[in-house]
């Protein structure tokens, strides 16, 4: 009840929008402090300052039109829609509503003059606006562009504009960059830039603002990148302040491992090993990312790093995100290190309880010097007698946020282990600079000798029979093949079913082949048994889901068929293709696609066809999907950068990095204020 007849307010006195307190909606956008509000910048601008002649309407543009309604009718289809036509001297434009409200048609009767605003799109019968905003002709037009802010459901633009206007009065808008830094990089001042972006004056061009090319945007993008660089530099400094045991090798194990190898390490492998070796000898923890293209030989680098740590008296833990990957690492590492007298244990969910207990005990007592397993197993349960090095595969993907948060946590233990992360996806330079600047990076940019680039062929699904014949040929020639099942992202159950069906179909189509099946839902032991059989040559054709994406290493595999290749991402296709051609000899990857292809899918398949260079693939992937996808952060919804764009702002990123060093060294107070202004939102994210 509302006896006083006053407008309803929430008990707290906070305004409500559609039942949810406005403060909560602001929080949903990460807006807490005045600094958050003032740095919540428009997504785009609408030009309501002038009326566009209908003849100048362009699809994709927001515009305001004025004219006469020449017809309007209600159409009856699956639902009732209202369709009207607006005309002026220069042309005609469709107006369409997908819901019809009582009296709506009457208001839009033929002969009435109205204004209509909205986004023009190419409709079935010509250009149209769906759900236009209708206003009366004759109302005065604003004299400047209207900002449109990113918002959340239930929060109107007007409320955001008001809150931001208030924050602009309250917030501390002092420049966090000293004049000489602004000058050095030709940057506009902060406050005028910010005010301009929120309230562009009458003389500002929409194009400059829309494309983020205005100097005001340049300043904001610089500030964003600078804040990130400062945070990463802080994380790095914090790590340097921590203590680690110096693990200086004496060659007793590494030397024997090198001598026992059946091949010569590549120059790139030796360089990476030397860099890691120096890091391990230091008294602060290493935090290094080892990146290399598929098949570049990261496992050997990991083995040599582990050997150095072990010969220096430390224990080593090796973790991988999946069982298959962990198993693969275990196989190689134990094969290399156990004959040299290193006691190693394997930890997995499938291990019988007694064996598992024994393994854990061996780690705790220090009897075992090396443990390999999946991440969860090693992180949660295992106690080590003297853990000195943690090697993790693909762990860097779990987010910049988490990494920074981890680094900031104080540590109770006296010593922290050295850390080596391995990435099978080459990370483009800009991405590395923007997100991994707190880590050191080693790159394996050289493949072991004798590798022939995998030949990639594109086949329309209608030529499937030819592909099947090809599989038969390859197997008769003594090689093995993979068949990757179509990706069904929406449902795991459907994905599984697809794998089972594909397996059946291929068995029927190729009756003289031994066809195996591998998918994520198989019990761990069965997975291992299938991989063993494939490795031993007892399976000719392995039908698999993307569980085989990374790390699987069966040198005799010479053909890979990827079904519905158009559904896979570029990095994923590249990883999959990397499973063949690992043992020398010719190898082919067949991308089977279902036409018609979307433009993006076509671009992706073309990239696969044109290059086998992982760095080039990663660069194109970044351009297509953006950094969030590439770093596997899609699910987290974490906005990595709000304003800057790694593709087009590479020079700015370079400058921001330089400026971060200068600010930290010469203007620590400014650096602190800058981080505070820009990282409030990010900190919020880190805490959640």
Ligand X SMILES: Nc1ncnc2c1ncn2[C@@H]1O[C@H](COP(=O)(O)OP(=O)(O)OP(=O)(O)O)[C@@H](O)[C@H]1O
Binding site for ligand X (CB under 6 A): 263-266, 269, 292, 294-300, 424, 448, 550-551, 553, 555, 578, 582
CB nearer ligand X, residue 39 or residue 442: 442
Those residues with Cβ within 8 angstroms of residue 135's Cβ, 6 or more apart along the chain or in another chain: 114, 115, 117
* Shortest Å distance, C-beta 448 to ligand X: 3
Interhelix angle for 524-535 vs 323-337, to 10°? 60
List b or e across 93-112, with b for residues whose CB sees 16 or more CB atoms inside 10 angstroms: bbbbbeeeeeeebeebeeeb
What does the alpha-carbon distance between residue 203 and residue 510 come to, in Å, rounded to a whole number?
71
Q: How far is 160 from 154, CA to CA, in rounded Å?
A: 11
- Quote the least distance from Cβ 443 to ligand X, whole Å: 12
Kindly state the helix (H) or strand (E) to which residue 106 belongs, with its residue range: helix 104-107
CB of 617 to ligand X, least distance (A): 13
Q: Which is nearer to ligand X, 313 or 632 (CB)?
A: 632
Q: For ligand X, which is the closer residue by CB, 516 or 578?
A: 578
Q: Which is nearer to ligand X, 200 or 578 (CB)?
A: 578
Q: Which residues of 212-249 are buried (b: 16+ CB within 10 A; e: fewer)?
A: bebebbbbbbbbbbbbbbbbbbbbeeebeebebbebeb
Report, in Å, the least distance between residue 554 CB and ligand X: 9
Phi, psi of 448 (to 5 degrees): -55, 150
Task: Give min distance, CB of 582 to ligand X, in A.
Answer: 5
The pairs formed by 407-415 with CB atoms below 8 angstroms and a separation of 24 or more are 407/235, 407/238, 407/239, 407/438, 408/235, 408/238, 408/686, 411/242, 414/243, 415/243, 415/244, 415/245
Q: How far is CA 582 from CA 292, 579, 585, 649, in A?
A: 14, 7, 8, 37
Are 383 and 363 in contact by the 8 Å Cβ rule? The answer is yes
Q: How far is the CB of 264 from ligand X (least distance, A)?
A: 6
Of 291 and 315, CB closest to ligand X: 291
Pairing of the two strands 455-460 and 126-130? unpaired
Q: Which is nearer to ligand X, 378 or 580 (CB)?
A: 580
**Contacting residues for 417 by C-beta, under 8 A, at least 6 apart:** 244, 285, 314, 317, 387, 388, 389, 390
Minimum CB distance to ligand X smaller for 266 or for 308? 266
The DSSP secondary-structure symbol of 598 reads P
Q: How far is the CB of 429 from ligand X (least distance, A)?
A: 19
Nearest distance in Å: CB 424, ligand X: 3
Say if CB 541 and CB 516 are below 8 A apart: yes
Smallest gap from Cβ 457 to ligand X, in A, equals 21
- Report the C-alpha gap between 114 and 84 in whole angstroms: 12
User: Token digits for 47?
Assistant: 């030009």
Smallest gap from Cβ 515 to ligand X, in A, equals 24
Distance (Å, whole) CA 157 – CA 166: 14
Nearer to ligand X, 527 or 582 (CB): 582
Q: At what angle do helices 215-240 and 400-408 cross, to 10 degrees?
A: 50
CB of 633 vs ligand X, minimal distance in Å: 20
Give the nearer residue to ligand X in terms of CB position, either 34 or 578. Answer: 578
Q: What is the DSSP string of 216-279?
A: HHHHHHHHHHHHHHHHHHHHHHHHHTS--------STTHHHHHHH-SSPPPHHHHHHHHHHHHH
CB of 311 to ligand X, least distance (A): 21
Closer to ligand X by CB, 364 or 536: give it.
Answer: 536
Candidates 195, 204, 161, 160; CA nearest to 175 is 195
Q: Which CB atom, from 57 or from 300, has the smaller least distance to ligand X?
A: 300
CB 570 → ligand X: shortest distance, Å?
16
Distance between the two ends of the chain, CA-based, in angstroms?
Answer: 37
Shortest distance in whole angstroms from residue 337 CB to ligand X: 14
User: With respect to ligand X, which residue has the nearer C-beta, 264 or 610?
Assistant: 264
Q: Which is nearer to ligand X, 268 or 317 (CB)?
A: 268
Neighbours of 148 (CB within 10 A): 15
Give how far the C-alpha of residue 18 lies from the chain's centroid of Cα atoms, to the nearest Å.
34
User: In angstroms, rounded to a whole number, what is the distance separating the alpha carbons of residues 92 and 339?
Assistant: 82
Q: Between residues 54 and 422, which has the closer beta carbon with respect to ligand X?
A: 422
């Amino acid at each position: 009840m509302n006896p006083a007849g006053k407008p309803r307010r929430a008990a707290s006195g906070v305004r409500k929008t559609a039942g949810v307190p406005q403060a909560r909606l602001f929080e949903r956008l990460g807006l807490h402090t005045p600094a958050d509000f003032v740095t919540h910048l428009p997504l785009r601008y609408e030009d309501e300052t002038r009326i566009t002649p209908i003849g100048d309407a362009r699809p994709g543009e927001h515009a305001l039109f004025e004219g006469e309604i020449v017809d309007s009718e209600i159409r009856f289809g699956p639902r009732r829609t209202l369709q009207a036509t607006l005309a002026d001297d220069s042309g005609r434009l469709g107006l369409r509503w997908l819901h019809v409200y009582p009296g709506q048609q009457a208001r839009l009767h033929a002969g009435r003059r109205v204004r209509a605003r909205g986004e023009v799109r190419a409709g079935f019968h010509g250009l149209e606006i769906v759900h236009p905003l209708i206003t009366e002709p004759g109302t005065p037009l604003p004299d400047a562009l209207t900002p449109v802010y990113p918002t959340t459901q239930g929060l109107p633009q007007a409320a955001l504009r008001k809150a931001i206007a208030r924050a602009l009065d309250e917030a501390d808008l002092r420049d966090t960059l000293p004049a000489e830094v602004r000058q050095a990089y030709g940057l506009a001042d902060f406050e005028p830039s910010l005010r301009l972006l929120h309230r562009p004056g009458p003389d500002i061009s929409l194009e400059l603002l829309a494309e983020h090319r205005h100097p005001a945007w340049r300043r904001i993008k610089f500030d964003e990148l600078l804040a990130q660089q400062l945070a990463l530099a802080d994380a790095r400094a914090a790590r340097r302040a921590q203590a680690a045991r110096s693990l200086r090798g004496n060659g007793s194990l590494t030397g024997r491992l090198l001598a026992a190898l059946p091949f010569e390490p590549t120059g790139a492998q030796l360089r990476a090993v030397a860099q890691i070796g120096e890091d391990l000898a230091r008294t602060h923890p290493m935090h290094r990312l080892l990146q290399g293209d598929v098949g570049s030989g990261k496992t050997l680098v990991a083995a040599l790093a582990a050997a150095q740590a072990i010969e220096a008296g430390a224990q080593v833990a090796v973790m991988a995100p999946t069982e298959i990957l962990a198993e693969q690492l275990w196989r190689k590492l134990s094969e290399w290190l156990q004959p040299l007298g290193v006691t190693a244990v394997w930890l997995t969910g499938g291990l019988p309880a007694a064996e598992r207990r024994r393994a854990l005990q061996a780690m705790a007592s220090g009897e075992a010097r090396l443990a390999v397993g999946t991440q969860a197993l090693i992180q949660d349960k295992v106690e080590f007698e003297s853990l000195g090095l943690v090697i993790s595969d693909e762990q860097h993907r779990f987010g910049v946020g988490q990494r920074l948060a981890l680094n900031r946590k104080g540590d109770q233990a006296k010593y922290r282990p050295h850390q080596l992360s391995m990435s099978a996806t080459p990370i483009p330079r800009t991405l590395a600079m923007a997100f991994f600047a707190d880590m050191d990076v080693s790159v394996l940019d050289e493949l072991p000798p004798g590798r022939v680039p995998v030949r990639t062929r594109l086949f329309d699904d209608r030529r499937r029979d030819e592909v099947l014949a090809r599989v038969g040929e390859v197997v008769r020639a003594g090689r093995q093949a993979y068949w990757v099942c179509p990706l069904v992202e929406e449902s795991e159950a459907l994905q599984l079913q697809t794998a089972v069906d594909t397996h059946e179909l291929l068995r029927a189509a190729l009756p003289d082949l031994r066809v195996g099946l591998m998918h994520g839902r198989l019990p761990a032991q069965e997975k291992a048994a299938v991989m063993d059989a494939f490795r031993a040559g007892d399976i000719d054709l392995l039908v698999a889901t993307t569980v085989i994406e990374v790390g699987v290493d069966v040198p005799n595999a010479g053909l890979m068929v990827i079904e519905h290749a158009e559904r896979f991402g570029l990095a994923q296709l590249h990883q999959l293709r990397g499973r063949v051609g690992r043992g020398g000899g010719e190898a082919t990857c067949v991308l089977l696609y279902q036409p018609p292809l979307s433009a993006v899918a076509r671009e992706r398949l073309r990239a696969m066809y044109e290059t086998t260079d992982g760095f080039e693939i990663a660069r194109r992937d970044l351009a297509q999907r953006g950094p969030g996808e590439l770093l596997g952060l899609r699910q987290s919804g974490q906005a990595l950068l709000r304003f800057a764009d790694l593709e087009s702002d590479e020079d700015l990123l370079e400058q921001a990095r330089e400026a971060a060093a200068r600010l930290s060294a010469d203007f620590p107070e400014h650096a602190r204020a800058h981080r505070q202004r820009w990282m409030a939102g990010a900190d919020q994210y880190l805490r959640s």
